[in-house]
């Protein structure tokens, strides 16, 4: 089941969902709108290696925006810091974002119960499009969890994305044994 607007507000009041900054105007019927943070990043190397720690370079989106180009992977970040202690958060693109040809995640739309951070976005575009820091970029949807949780994400010793950040984070696939 997906949480309604009233239920999201109740969970925020109880502290099981945290959204900072929170703006009541961003609350939809069953979702919460999130915004593009001021930092983007691109990988330094053209060829990425799943077994290697691929380096990224961060840059700030200028006030007059930044043009994203097709054929490039951009890592973005949400302006909002979130915590989810009893629900499964899903980040989806807004229809307005999709209608500009912007995909905000390649595969990682689901968070884990206990995820406490900003969201790194895996952004690609169908055609050149100018984006701006603070623009609406996606929406969080919260699902009810069935059953008890043994280990929350933020308490896992091997969780790769636990360090609080306001910048996009590169892939940590290289930390996996394969």
* Apex 149 CA angle, 148 and 152, nearest 5: 160
Structure tokens, 69? 């180009």
Report the candidate in 34, 54, 58 with the shortest Cα–Cα distance to residue 45.
54
122 is catalytic: yes
3-state secondary structure string across 33-97: EEEECCEEEEECCCCCCCCCCCCEEEEECCCCCEEECCCCCEEEEECCEEEECCEEEEEEECHHH
- Write the CB contacts of 39 (distance below 8 Å, at least 6 apart in sequence): 58, 59, 60, 61, 76, 77, 166, 167, 168
38: left (phi over 0), alpha (psi -120 to 50) or beta: alpha
**Annotated catalytic residue within 122, 146, 150, 170:** 122
- Write the CB contacts of 108 (distance below 8 Å, at least 6 apart in sequence): 120, 122
| Positions marked catalytic | 122
């Amino acid at each position: 089941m997906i949480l309604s607007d009233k239920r999201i507000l109740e969970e925020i009041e109880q502290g099981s969902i945290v959204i900072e900054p929170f703006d009541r105007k961003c609350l939809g019927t069953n979702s919460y709108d999130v915004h593009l943070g001021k930092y983007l990043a691109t990988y330094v190397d053209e060829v990425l290696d799943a077994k290697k720690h691929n380096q990224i370079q961060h840059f700030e989106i200028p006030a007059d925006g930044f043009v994203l180009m097709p054929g490039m992977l951009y890592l973005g970040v949400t302006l909002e810091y979130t915590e989810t202690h009893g629900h499964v958060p899903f980040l989806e693109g807004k229809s307005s974002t999709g209608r500009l040809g912007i995909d905000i995640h390649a595969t990682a739309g689901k968070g884990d119960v206990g995820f406490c951070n900003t969201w790194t976005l895996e952004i690609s575009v169908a055609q050149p499009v100018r984006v701006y820091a603070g623009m609406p970029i996606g929406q969080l949807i919260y699902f009810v969890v069935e059953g008890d949780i043994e280990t929350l994400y933020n308490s896992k010793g091997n969780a790769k994305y636990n360090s609080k950040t306001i910048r996009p984070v590169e892939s940590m696939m290289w930390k996996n044994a394969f």
